Structure 1
Amino acid sequence: MTAMAHQPLTQADVLLEGFLALETPEGFRAELIEGEIVVTPPPDGDHEDYIGLIVEQVHQHSRTRMQFSGNKGLKLESRGDCPQDRVIPDGTFAPRELRLYRGADSWMPCKGVAMVLEVTSTRPKADREAKRRCYARGGIALYLLVDREASSITLFSNPEKDDYREQCTRPFGKPLALPEPFSFDLETADFL
């Protein structure tokens, strides 16, 4: 019997291994986005307020019962010589019947996630661009972006390859229609 030859580690393998070994201070988040390790500080109160306002409306008005998580990270497919993206959205929504958040692993696949939510903070460009591409590659049908600098909310839909084919932006104060499986108008008057 011959010994199997070990495959040499690629740069992507080393980066993913180093990322998974990181220990961040409490409240900080480490993500691996398009081959770059990104560490973000704990969010401020306004950031959390926007998330709370959205979660409350989803639980009250969504046609489909949704579960929410603000802690589970998403594993996305590798691209080319980059390691698998590991992204932690500010929030994910999934139909309750799927029970996607069960299990001890802090990283879950994207399959079954109905919508991801991001609220811009210290790195708004990452939320507007890199994370949008990650979520589209993951096949997540809806990406909701609360852009605090622009005082607007955008729903990206119809993912295809590295981006979303459609987007609808509304200024704070105007409602934004959320399609199936949510099927209600998200009110943003309280965002002002």
Structure 2
Amino acid sequence: MQRLCMQHRPELWLYGNRGMKIEEYRKGRARPDGVLPPFGFVKGHGHWSDAQGVLMVVEVTSHGSDTRQRDRVEKPDGYAAEGIPVHLLIDRDDCSVVVFNQPEGGRYRHAETFAFGATVKLPAPVNVTLDTVHLKEYVD
């Protein structure tokens, strides 16, 4: 993902495992697997950044017992409530990616699911095309 973002949008940076203030999620804090803001975004933020300026969050489903609730319900709702324009969920359980966008009223109005192997156009403001064929290699 980092290489793809740098190739197509060099003014952005995909920060891994960045602490985010997500007030509607559990205790008001989340650690997305990836956060895509402009390069230099985290400067002066300390351990927890506000969501303002973040174009996309990336999550990869975990293997925990609460994955369905946490990764597929609570986190998308929390990110939408903060107004993060795009949420990319890489779902290892069913070998798919889900692109959430159009946050409104604490929920994403649009979600589209693609099987691993598909070419996915991430919507504005990200505007990057993602080839998901290599994601198959990382599913255990």
Aligned partner of 1:108: which letter? S
Aligned match of 1:160 in 101, 104, 108?
A: 104
Unaligned stretches of 5+ residues in structure 1 = 1-53
Identity of aligned residues (%): 35
- Give the alignment's Cα RMSD to 1 decimal: 1.9
Q: What are the equivalent positions in structure 2 for 1:1-192 lying under 5 Å apart?
A: 54-62=1-9, 65-77=11-23, 85-96=28-39, 99-103=40-44, 105-123=46-64, 124-125=67-68, 126-192=70-136
In 2, distance between residues paired with 1:159 and 1:120? 21
In 2, distance between residues paired with 1:157 and 1:183? 12
Aligned partner of 1:94: which letter? P
181 and 160 in structure 1: CA distance in 2 versus 1, 3 angstrom threshold: closer
String of CA shifts for 1:137-177, please: whole Å, max 9, x gaps: 11100000000001000110011122100011110001111
In 2, distance between residues paired with 1:157 and 1:104? 25
Contact 2:14–2:34 (8 Å) recurs in 1: yes
Greater share of helix residues, 1 or 2?
A: 1
102 and 130 in structure 1: CA distance in 2 versus 1, 3 angstrom threshold: same
String of CA shifts for 1:65-105, please: whole Å, max 9, x gaps: 211211321113369xxx75101101100022xx3211261
In 2, distance between residues paired with 1:169 and 1:155? 6
Contact 2:14–2:36 (8 Å) recurs in 1: yes
DSSP 3-state at the match of 2:113: strand
DSSP 3-state at the match of 2:125: coil
In 2, distance between residues paired with 1:78 and 1:184? 28
DSSP 3-state at the match of 1:58: helix
Contact 2:56–2:126 (8 Å) recurs in 1: no
TM-score (norm 1): 0.64
DSSP 3-state at the match of 1:107: coil
DSSP 3-state at the match of 1:190: helix
DSSP 3-state at the match of 2:14: strand
Unaligned stretches of 5+ residues in structure 2 = none
DSSP 3-state at the match of 2:93: coil
Contact 1:58–1:182 (8 Å) recurs in 2: no
Residue 61 of structure 1 deviates from its aligned partner by: 2.1
Query: In terms of Rg, which structure is larger?
Result: 1
Alignment: residue pair count:
133
